[in-house]
Amino acid sequence: MIADISQAPCAASPKRWSCTLPEHISPSAAKSYLGCSLKFYFERVACIRKNTPVALHVGKAVHAALQVFHLARWRAGDDSPGAVAAAYEKSFTDLETDEGPVNYDDEAEREKARVDGLRVVAAYLDSPEAMKGKPRAVEVLLKENIPGLSVPLTGAMDLVEGNFTPVDFKSAAAKPDPGNAAFDHEIQLVSYQLLMEIATGQVPPSLDLVFLVKTKTPQVIRVSSPPANEHRKRRVIALLETAVQGIARACYHPQPAMQCSWCQYKNECMAWLPARQLERRAA
């Protein structure tokens, strides 16, 4: 039996995850697993639901609004600020219903979050980074076999520009450090390059992140990094394969680090013992 781990958390039933190769691997699943395998287990295997963090909720609504804008550019549809703002408002409300409660303290926090996201969307549309021409592709999902990886690689690119540059949008609370940003997102950026090269035969001229920064005056900052050489590709394929093999062996354990400060699974983590995991695997 094989497991699907690249879809939204809990798209697969827990039984499908035990001691099998996953059907495929996505950069986000690999990054999640490598960041903390036990948190990955709680989110994607045990499917323990938590309230959505406010920043994640706003980021998803902003992402949906930008998607509407880019699709309108692609299809020569309505890409006006009003249409994009309406898409943001709809997504902000729909996500609250579709993905469960958001971790607001009160209505005032909800309203502030809503307005902050709207201001970020407006800042993007006003910025030089807003797509001017027709994109090559929007929200493109690719799935390819990659030499050295034992399952297919999948990836969903937010935007592919006319010159084959993949662009991923990130909501951020603070201005990014360009060197760290490219390193932090290496698995995702290089995975996109690997997928693009196999799907189109083209080497992207750069791998780009566009940060939408929710500062008092919102900022839109593009971080471009050069395409990966063979060394970087091999390194990322090895990281992806490490995640695949760890998932296949059901290897889940705490990895205490800075991320624990904002982890929602501390109670479950504190209850973890290796023996309990072995029991679960034997069941």
Region of 43-51, 162-170, 214-222, 253-261 interacting with ligand SF4 (CB under 6 A): 253-261
**Minimum distance between the CB of residue 252 and ligand SF4, rounded to whole angstroms?**
9
Residues 169-208 close enough to bind ligand SF4 by CB under 6 A: none
Based on the shown chain and the rule CB under 6 A, indicate whether residue 45 belongs to the binding site for ligand SF4: no
Based on the shown chain and the rule CB under 6 A, indicate whether residue 142 belongs to the binding site for ligand SF4: no
Based on the shown chain and the rule CB under 6 A, indicate whether residue 33 belongs to the binding site for ligand SF4: no
Q: Characterize 66-85 residue by residue with b for buried, 16 or more Cβ atoms within 10 angstroms of its Cβ, and e for exposed.
A: bbbbbebbbeeeebeeeebb
CB-wise, 28 or 215, nearer to ligand SF4? 28
**Minimum distance between the CB of residue 269 and ligand SF4, rounded to whole angstroms?**
3
Tokens 């982890």, residue located: 263
CA distance 100 to 114: 16
Region of 144-152, 230-238, 255-263, 275-283 interacting with ligand SF4 (CB under 6 A): 255-263
Other CB atoms within 10 Å distance of the CB of residue 247: 28
Region of 43-51, 113-121, 160-168, 257-265 interacting with ligand SF4 (CB under 6 A): 257-265
**Minimum distance between the CB of residue 113 and ligand SF4, rounded to whole angstroms?**
24
CA distance 149 to 27: 13
CB-wise, 217 or 267, nearer to ligand SF4? 267
Residue pair 262/39 in contact by the 8 Å Cβ criterion: no
Q: Which listed residue (5, 12, 38, 243) binds ligand SF4 by CB under 6 A?
A: 38
**Minimum distance between the CB of residue 271 and ligand SF4, rounded to whole angstroms?**
10
Q: Element (H or E) spanning 155, and its range?
A: strand 153-160
- Looking at 13-80, list the stretches that DSSP marks H as alpha helix, in order from N- to C-terminal side: 27-35, 37-40, 54-75
Spatial strand order in the sheet of 219-225:
137-144, 153-160, 166-172, 207-213, 219-225
Amino acid 153 reads L
Measured between alpha carbons, how far is residue 63 from residues 85, 138, 139 in Å?
A: 12, 12, 11
Q: Which listed residue (58, 187, 228, 269) binds ligand SF4 by CB under 6 A?
A: 269
CB-wise, 118 or 263, nearer to ligand SF4? 263
**Minimum distance between the CB of residue 173 and ligand SF4, rounded to whole angstroms?**
19
| Site size with ligand SF4, rule: CB under 6 A | 12
Nearest to 33 by CA among 52, 53, 9: 9
CB-wise, 39 or 136, nearer to ligand SF4? 39
Region of 31-39, 43-51, 125-133, 244-252 interacting with ligand SF4 (CB under 6 A): 31-39
CA distance 272 to 266: 10
3-state secondary structure at position 156? strand
Based on the shown chain and the rule CB under 6 A, indicate whether residue 122 belongs to the binding site for ligand SF4: no
Interface positions with ligand SF4 (CB under 6 A): 36, 38-39, 254-256, 259-260, 263, 265-266, 269
